[in-house]
Chains A and B, each alone.
Chain A
Amino acid sequence: MGLKRPDLETKISNLLSPLVVAGAGGALVLIALVPQLAALIREQLQANLSPTAAAVAASAIGVGATVFLVGQLPVFLIWFERKVAAHIQDRLGPMRVGWHGVLQSFADGIKLVFKEDIIVNGADRFLFKLAPFLVLMGAFSAFAVLPWHTGLVVSDLNIGLLYVVAITSLGSIGLLMAGWASNNKYALYGGMRSAAQMVSYEIPTAIVILSVVVQVGSLNLQDVISAQLGGFGNFANWHIFRLYGLNVIGFVLFFICGLAETNRSPFDIPEAESELVAGFHTEYSGIRFGLFFLAEYGAMFFVAGLTVVLYLGGWSGPFFEGPLVFFIKTLALVFVQMWLRWTLPRLRVDQLMALCWKYVIPFAFLVLLVAALASAGAS
């Protein structure tokens, strides 16, 4: 048995794997250097353009960079999830396409793009086509207010948290639309379940966010972070350590609600594959299915990021601060989400509702009440 001559696939993969790994490393460096880069760009713009044009150009560059980053994130997260799942389950996961399977997501993406785009008979064609975009839009536009560093946010809205609550619920309309338009009973069940679930869990989410807003006194996410700066080691002021430890409850509640809002296990009943085949995206194929997938991972990262902003000090940290710190913290929370997914069974729909209305909402109100009393006492 002699050495096999490497075939074309192996050659491509040998060529691309180092590139991808280097690209990921480079991206991390880039994320770390973003504040300097942003300052440089802003300086150049202000020097060469009129103030209005500079502002427009700056936000355009910001939007472009965010869209690019958010578009690449799921590619990484899908590979990451598959690796995490594999190692939890005592196997290796993707190993063939590139070094430790780093090219797997790209291969899957190419496959999805080239797959036939099937629209079933009897489907509402317009809504069927619209739904994935709506879901994707709901997941990705939320990134507009996610602060990566001081002054480094696409849109520094003073009602940022309100915007987040509003825009993330756009996704549930998309899921409902997908379920309804598919002309499939399983998809309909999935859509109805997701609507019920997201509408229910939006209430505790909003209440928990409100408890933070009451403590900070602002709806702006940058203000939320600057309220957490300082203190011992630059982390003692994080919200999770404040309010007599009650914010730990708030943190856990927000994390649970985040899982429910993104339809992640153990709350993945809208796409429960053992009950509803694939739930709302049963009839989707090709890139339309891929868009749902992108949206799911985008939403996962966003929810983890919002948790970091609200409770873990955003981009501040004990030794370093900046976008990289934020990224690493968020990734750690994303890892916890994956860990839970591959460990826990799935709740039933009535238990999900019972959990929301009987346990999560009362505790959320408790946190809000204490936060309100504490801030009233302070002022």
Chain B
Amino acid sequence: MSSQTQYKDLEPDEAYAFKPEDLEPDEMILNMGPQHPSTHGVLRIELKTDGEIVKDAQPHIGYLHRNFEKHAENIDYQGVIPFTDRMDYVGSMNNSLTYAVAVEKLMEIEVNERVQSIRVITSELQRIASHLLALGTYGMDIGAFTPFLHSFREREKILDLFEWLCGARLLYNYNWIGGLSHDLPNQWTDRAKIFLDQFEPVIDELDNLLSYNKIFTKRTADVGIIPPERAVGYALTGPNLRGSGIKWDIRKEDPYCGYEKYEFDVPVGQGRYGPIGSCWDRYYVRVEEMRQSVRITRQAIEQMPAEGDVRETVPKRVKPKPGEAYGRTEAPRGELGFYVVSDGGLIPYRVKGRSPCFVAMSIFREIAKGEMIADMIAIIGSLDIVLGEIDR
């Protein structure tokens, strides 16, 4: 190859699922990503297009692979937690919580009620923050820039609360095995309550600005429809599954951290502007979930015991007996699970992550066929993927 090799001289290699020689006349291969403003990270989608119509779409993942599972086999149990934080980097609290729940199950540790309440508060606030990011960027994908900044303004307040709590704004390392790294600071709950009070009207504001906007509903209500049976067939979880009208929430079905104590509803897609399971339904489930999260957080703050040591059950040395455990929680993006195997040593024998985004991505090809290029963006946004979690 000379130094002046041009792109067109290069042979398409195995990185392409569609071959130029198989194309019909008028068809074209469009490479969307990995460097594209709207693929929510470094996702690459190969599109076979006919004009604006997408005939076929093949996602390619792995651009953010960081070897999480192999790392976990070479580091002690507590040391895995910062790595889990980096999986779904906009929902870190939930990730470390899930891993902590899994290892606690393995070691048969029962954390006290205060720890449980704080975990519920932080994970619900994290869910709000994560959904705000998802909804804001979704609006931006559809072309409305303003809701993005409005929702980031609110997310910032949650991050401020977390910063006060543990010093970090994105990757917290807060949930430890058997407890928490810090207790709540003085008056933290008061500040959190102030935030919740001013945040609830903001959801209505978002609704008026974006959710019921005629153009927005037109763009999303008939697009990317996942029928309920397909959603179950592809093992979707979280808002993606509930958007198709199926009531399934780990917090209700398999409660952890004392979620059975709190009253909340599980919002599902209603098919208000089109067929059930559309992008709009998935979007709106997230909006409703923020309302429910506010409700849960309020109850958790009310019911939290005033006394209790958050490191009461933190083991001096994490050395589980040989065995295995699967812990799962309802993360903002769906069912997040960690399968931890111990051989009795100080280092996990195996840690397997079950990431909801990876599973959600598997349905993309099926629902993308026949839609338009602009709809690709709408579908990716509505699945709310985070590449850190897909690639791990």
Identify the A interface with B (CB < 8 A): 85, 88-91, 121-122, 185-186, 189, 265-266, 268-269, 272-277, 342-351
Contact = CB atoms under 8 A, between A and B. Distances in A.
Contact of B150 (A85, A89, A346, A351): A89
B236 to A, nearest CB: 24
Contacts, number: 85
A191 to B, nearest CB: 13
Nearest to B371: A348
A265 B37 contact: no
Given A121-B6, A122-B7, A345-B210, A277 B37 contact: yes
Contacts of A185: 28, 30-31
A90 B209 CA distance: 14
A350 B213 contact: no
A65 B139 CA distance: 42
Given A345-B213, A345-B216, A347-B215, A266 B143 contact: yes
B1 to A, nearest CB: 14
B373 A189 contact: yes
Interface string B112-153: 000000000000000000000000000111111110011001
Contacts of A351: 215, 218-219
A275 B373 contact: yes
A266 B374 CA distance: 14
Given A277-B36, A343-B146, A344-B143, 11 more contacts: A266-B143, A266-B215, A272-B374, A276-B373, A277-B37, A342-B145, A345-B139, A346-B142, A346-B374, A347-B218, A348-B372
23 contacts: A85-B145, A89-B150, A121-B7, A186-B30, A189-B30, A268-B143, A272-B374, A273-B37, A274-B37, A274-B140, A274-B143, A275-B376, A277-B36, A342-B145, A343-B144, A345-B210, A345-B219, A346-B143, A346-B144, A347-B219, A348-B218, A348-B219, A348-B375
Given A345-B143, A345-B213, A275 B8 contact: no
Main secondary structure of the interface of A (DSSP, over half): loop
A275 B377 contact: yes
B213 A344 contact: yes
A306 B57 CA distance: 44
Contacts of B145: 85, 89, 342
A277 B377 CA distance: 12
Interface residues of B, number: 34
B38 interface: yes
A122 B6 contact: yes
Contact of A90 (B7, B139, B149, B374): B149
B7 A345 contact: no
A345 B142 contact: yes
A275 B374 contact: yes
Main secondary structure of the interface of B (DSSP, over half): helix
Contacts of A345: 139, 142-144, 210, 213, 215-216, 219
B197 interface: no
Contact of A348 (B28, B30, B150, B374): B374
B52 A349 contact: yes
Interface string B163-205: 0000000000000000000000000000000000000000000
Contact of B38 (A91, A274, A344): A274
Contacts of A343: 144, 146, 209
B6 A344 contact: no
Nearest to A269: B374
A348 B372 CA distance: 9
Contacts of A347: 215, 218-219
A2 to B, nearest CB: 30
Which interface residue of A89, A189, A348, A349 has the most chain B CB atoms within 10 A?
A: A348
Sorted nearest first, the 10 A-B pairs with minimum C-beta distance are A346-B143, A345-B144, A89-B149, A274-B38, A345-B142, A345-B143, A348-B374, A345-B215, A274-B141, A345-B216
Contacts of B215: 266, 344-347, 351
B169 to A, nearest CB: 19
A26 to B, nearest CB: 34
A347 to B, nearest CB: 6
A249 to B, nearest CB: 18
Nearest to B215: A345
A277 B36 CA distance: 6
Interface string B201-245: 000000001100101101100000000000000000000000000
Contacts of B219: 345-348, 351
Contacts of A268: 143
Which interface residue of A89, A269, A342, A351 has the most chain B CB atoms within 10 A?
A: A89
Nearest to A86: B149
A91 B210 contact: no
A296 to B, nearest CB: 16
B198 to A, nearest CB: 14
A270 to B, nearest CB: 12
Contacts of B31: 185
Contacts of B210: 345
